[in-house]
Amino acid sequence: MINYLVIEGNIGAGKTSLASMIAERHNARLILEQYADNPFLPKFYKDPDRYSFPLELSFLAARYKQLHKDLTSPELFQPFTVADYFFSKSLIFAKITLQIDEYNLYRQLFDIIHQQLPKPDLYVYLYVSVEKLISNIRKRGRDYEKEITPEYLEKVQQGYFEYLRSLSGQKILVLDLEHLDYIYVKSHYSRIEDVIFREDYVIGLNRVQLP
């Protein structure tokens, strides 16, 4: 039984769309990351060396505040909670963007607070190639994302893979969605939903490729 479901993925993988569709279909509580409100994000994409540390700190604080509030408050009328991010993504991005001394300080702060948050019953990672990620990012046309490079997306992808391999005691599902368009093709969404909810996954890394 899933009470807390996380949909994760690289920038442009479609995690917000999928989480929103699942929440609407099942009348579930939806938690969406409020990244667009972060004033450091556009600055970071233009000048990452200068703005990486304040960006990561601001995301850490915002993610903790939102998840702690939403996940510790009972929901009586919705069957489960689905979120389009997990708190540990803070660590993934920080390791990519920060200098070693900055990351070590950041890790201390992260370790203090992340234990206070519940773990998901199922962690779903949406795998999409960097080429398709770039295409998706261009299609949605956000001005501050124009500076994102394929090299940066590749680093993020590898960061997620490294993190997923290090997780223990959790059910992790990696979905290869390279050839699916679940936003516009109803049957594609139905297949993804079946894989998420109708399979009993073991603790550890589970991989499914959907043709």
The answer to whether residues 210 and 179 touch, using CB atoms and an 8 Å cutoff, is yes
In this prediction, residue 58 carries a pLDDT of 94
In this prediction, residue 91 carries a pLDDT of 93
- Residue 187 three-state SS: helix
Q: Which of 37, 70, 84, 101 is catalytic?
A: 84
In this prediction, residue 119 carries a pLDDT of 92
Instruction: State how far the Cα of 58 lies from the Cα of 21, in Å rounded to an integer.
Output: 28
Looking at residue 15, its amino acid is K
Domains of the chain, each with CATH number or no CATH: 4-209 (3.40.50.300)
Task: Tokens for 135, please give them.
Answer: 């295409």
Instruction: Give burial (CB, 10 Å; 0-12/13-18/19+) of 86.
Output: buried
Report, as ranges of residue numbers, the positions in the chain whose pLDDT lies below 50: none
CA nearest 20: which of 84, 75, 79, 64?
84
What tens digit of pLDDT does each residue of 71-96 get? 988 777 889 999 999 999 999 999 99
- The reply to whether 84 belongs to the active site is yes
Q: Which residue has the tokens 């290869």?
A: 176
The answer to whether residues 83 and 7 touch, using CB atoms and an 8 Å cutoff, is yes
Does pTM top 0.85 for this prediction? yes
In this prediction, residue 198 carries a pLDDT of 84
